[in-house]
A and B are shown apart, each in its own frame.
Chain A
Amino acid sequence: MILQAKPRRGFTVSAAESRHILNSIPTVIYVLAVTPKGFPSQWVSDSVKRILGYEAEEALAPDWWINCLHPEDKEAAIEKTAILMAKGHLVQEYRFRSKGGHYLWMQDEASLLRDAEGRPKEIVGFWTNITERKQAEEQAARAREQEVEIGFKIQQSLLLDQPPKDFPGARVAALTIASKRIGGDFYDFFRHGERCLDVVAGDVMGKGIPAALLGAASKSTFLQALSEISSLSTDGTLARPEEIVTLAHAKIVRQLISLESFVTVCYARFDLERRHVSLVDCGHMPVIHYRHKTGSCGMLRGSNVPLGVSEGEIYEQITEAFEPGDIFLFYSDGITESQNNAGEFFGISRLAECVRLNSRLDALQLITKIRTAVVAFSNSEAFADDLTCVAVKIEERKLPLARRTSEITSDLKELVRARAFVHDFCQKIPGGGLPADKAEELCLAVNEALSNIMRHAYNGRTDQRIQIGAEAWPDRVVLRLHHLGGPFDPAAVPQPVFNGSQENGFGVYMISRLTDEARYLRDERGRNCVLLVKKRAAI
């Protein structure tokens, strides 16, 4: 049986009624003729007046449509009529000028009608005002962009710490490639004197700002737990990683459970004196351990559950010995789960192989290689998930012959005390002091650098602190001046003039002449640091 729709009995529409209906719908209907010269308007529904403000007669004028198109959309809109002629149907969006002069976003859906012989006859279409939708879309896009930007800032400032640059016996480097949407990857480094270095690498479930904020909260919880246990210690022994993680977990577990989130973490303590790492793995990616002796990689894996899974969890650490030349790699699943065009994962074994092949490189070069390998594998730099990894390369532990620190205030009156400190340090180096002329040159360089810090970085404030660290090595003396004043760009200082016409501006030039190396950097604690190196006579 075939059902046919029949007109409802007795339902007829008068011309006036149909006009009323056409005027009430939220769209403008139009009919264009198809002629060799173009598409002259044949008919436009009266709703054009309500929606765009034009009388139907105005809308029938030649070139009315083209003239009202937004200049930036005009070319594309006209070009697309070719698609309509070829495919018979076209939907496009463009900005269109209303009678009042402002532009509205219109969706234009047009169909080509053909005559009995199949020749194009006329175009029937309708415009819908989509301005509100477009504005909402733009707003959403702006919000997304803003989220990415905020996320990036959170990541850089709160989630990712700078690896220490000068830890004796270990080179540390970190890599981050931010994804299109921020994740909750974080890492942190805690130094315990010269002997132990803690590396904390974690990943919060989920994405977006909530994950990032949880990451920041988790990160600070570890620091809190560490300092709480340390302050209770009466004999100065360090809190064990398993104690720190257990306490940190107790602090944060309820919040994680109520937020229905969890955090995978690896808390590792490198003891450079005893040459072992104590590691609390809480469901994080297994740490890759490259052994220099065997030339092969192993995986370090604990059996703890992630943070936020169950209350009252006791975490346990495992211990692994290491030798100089060994490498430890911490990484987030963003790396191992990055995919190639065939849908394969980068995977742990590929990553371990990458570490093994580049084991001769230093930590920073190694992670650069890893980055290159992952980017080449996935054939993309835009990743769905954050890629983070931290490489720790163990070195022969060298300790300076002597090390001393001092602190002064940012008062120029302190210069004389600082010079005396440097002078005294240089004289008392075990096994022979720095020759007097070299010591005096170093004193003058330190004096110039400090007076720049006081006058420029601290803008003449006299109550700020400057830490001075001095180290003597067999081949050199290194001075570090740490401060929290403004950063300094020596490249921005013009070359001094030596003809007597200029009374100042010699400081930076003098420093560069008086030392074998002068660097201006930001240390891992966010302080600005001036590093001055004076070579000793070869021993």
Chain B
Amino acid sequence: MDMKFEQFGDVAVVAVPGKDLDAANTSAFRSAIGPLLDAHRKMVLDLSQLRFVDSSGLGAFLSCLRQLNAKGGELKLCGLSQQVYQTFELVRMTRIFDIYSTKNEAVKAFQP
């Protein structure tokens, strides 16, 4: 999986590629994002391309959050479609993640 990211100061904004994140491609996602999680402490995952996420995809996002939190970093999400947001809500993940509508809002939220 090809993972593109932009740097805004010390914040890395990673665009999650593809329309679907399901059990078939979460492991590819996990290995692609691994080096970025190692290299950064502040990250925004931009989910605006994503139209479908299943429980494995949610598990992968949780894993990102835990890896960053473990080293004192932070993760924020942005660009969730209504369907993806509802899936997060279904398993109460909207309470666990900081979710913003746009990339800019998410990046701004990192500033003190």
Contact B56 A504 (CB under 8 A): yes
Chain A contact residues, majority secondary structure: helix
Contact A510 B91 (CB under 8 A): yes
Which segment, of A154-162, A337-345, A493-501, faces chain B? A493-501
CB of B92 closer than 8 Å to a CB of A = yes
**A498 to chain B: closest residue by CB:** B92
Can you list, as one digit per residue, whether each of A479-521 has a CB less than 8 Å from chain B (1) or not (0)? Answer: 0000000000000000010111011101101100110000000
A contact residues around B95 at 8 Å (CB): 498
Which segment, of A142-150, A258-266, A319-327, A411-419, faces chain B? A411-419
Given the known inter-chain contacts A444-B54, A448-B54, A498-B92, please indicate yes or no for A416 contacting B59, CB distance below 8 A: no
**B19 to chain A: closest residue by CB:** A416
The listed residue (A415, A444, A500) touching B62 by CB distance below 8 A is A500
Contact A514 B90 (CB under 8 A): yes
**A502 to chain B: closest residue by CB:** B62
B contact residues around A500 at 8 Å (CB): 62, 65-66, 93, 96
Contact A510 B24 (CB under 8 A): no
CB of A114 closer than 8 Å to a CB of B = no
Given the known inter-chain contacts A416-B24, A506-B91, A513-B90, please indicate yes or no for A451 contacting B54, CB distance below 8 A: yes
Contact B55 A510 (CB under 8 A): yes
A contact residues around B93 at 8 Å (CB): 498, 500
Least Cβ distance of A5 to chain B in Å?
A: 97
Contact B55 A416 (CB under 8 A): no
Contact B90 A416 (CB under 8 A): no
Contact A504 B59 (CB under 8 A): yes
CB of A455 closer than 8 Å to a CB of B = yes
Given the known inter-chain contacts A499-B96, A514-B90, please indicate yes or no for A504 contacting B55, CB distance below 8 A: yes
Leading 6 A-B pairs by shortest Cβ distance: A412-B24, A503-B59, A500-B96, A451-B23, A506-B55, A498-B92
With A454-B23, A503-B60, A506-B58 known, 17 other A-B pairs at CB within 8 A are A412-B24, A415-B54, A419-B52, A443-B52, A444-B87, A448-B55, A451-B22, A455-B23, A499-B96, A500-B65, A500-B96, A503-B66, A504-B59, A506-B59, A506-B91, A507-B55, A509-B91
Listed in ascending order, the chain B residues whose CB lies under 8 Å from chain A are 20, 22-24, 52, 54-56, 58-60, 62-63, 65-66, 83, 86-87, 90-93, 95-96
